[in-house]
Structure 1
Amino acid sequence: MAKQKKQERREPTGLERLGMRVSAMINAPLAQLNRRVRIHRLDTDSDEAWEGVMELLAETDGLDMTFNDDGTVTLNWEPDGDEGRPVGGGEEHALEEPKHEEVPF
């Protein structure tokens, strides 16, 4: 039997953890539907990590940031290119409002 090398697991940095959390918040279905999300800082987020993520977000084209009095940040964005257009590109079809179903939990 051949010996297998143990893979070392590297813990993500604070910046990486915060980046993954913010990314998950932005990619949440409701945030995508509304094109808006409010992100918040946890006590465990370092100043360096928070500032790093804020800088990355500020450099993102098409993203509006609002710094709220409670320390949260609201992100708003417009649809990219083809988002919001009917399939087939026909201008004669009006977009329907999304149907809101009751959440089963």
Structure 2
Amino acid sequence: MAEQKRQASDERRVMTGIERLVLRASSMINHPLAQTQRWVTIHQLDTDSDQDWDELLSTLSETPEIEITFCDDGGVTLRWERDDEQLNSLAREGNAEMEEETAPF
């Protein structure tokens, strides 16, 4: 039993810096308040390397739906518009699924 625990801890995968940064940024972007207001400000922490930060900003800048504003304090504010077409599409799919699930009697 102790050997299994030791093997499991040896096999535990450590997250890279960019993975931690992307996870933090995704969490902030997906937060209900950010989704309601459709903007969020993200700052580079001391634990974030410049290379990881630049990679995140590069990826975000390639996303056409996101507007990036660089702040004086080194952070970035991300803004996006609600995608009404996507919402309408999801609503239609949801209605179609509900129609399929109703009993045929």
With structure 2 as the length reference, what TM-score do the two structures score?
A: 0.72
Cα distance between partner residues in 2 of 1:79 and 1:34: 10
Structure 1: 5+ residue runs without aligned partners? 89-105
Secondary structure in structure 2 of the residue aligned to 1:60: coil
- Give the percent of matched residue pairs that are identical in Structure 1 and Structure 2: 52
The counterpart of 1:79, out of the listed 77, 82, 92, is 82
Cα distance between partner residues in 2 of 1:17 and 1:42: 11
Q: Once the 2 structures are TM-superposed, how far is the Cα of residue 10 of structure 1 from its aligned partner?
A: 1.1
Q: Once the 2 structures are TM-superposed, how far is the Cα of residue 83 of structure 1 from its aligned partner?
A: 3.5
Give yes or no for the alignment of 1:39 onto 2:77.
no
Give yes or no for the alignment of 1:17 onto 2:24.
no
Give yes or no for the alignment of 1:54 onto 2:57.
yes
Q: Once the 2 structures are TM-superposed, how far is the Cα of residue 41 of structure 1 from its aligned partner?
A: 0.8
Aligned residue in 2 for 1:29: 32
Structure with bigger gyration radius: 2
Cα distance between partner residues in 2 of 1:61 and 1:4: 47
Cα distance between partner residues in 2 of 1:82 and 1:17: 29
- Name segments (4+ residues, structure 1) moved above 6 Å: none
Structure having the higher helix fraction is 2
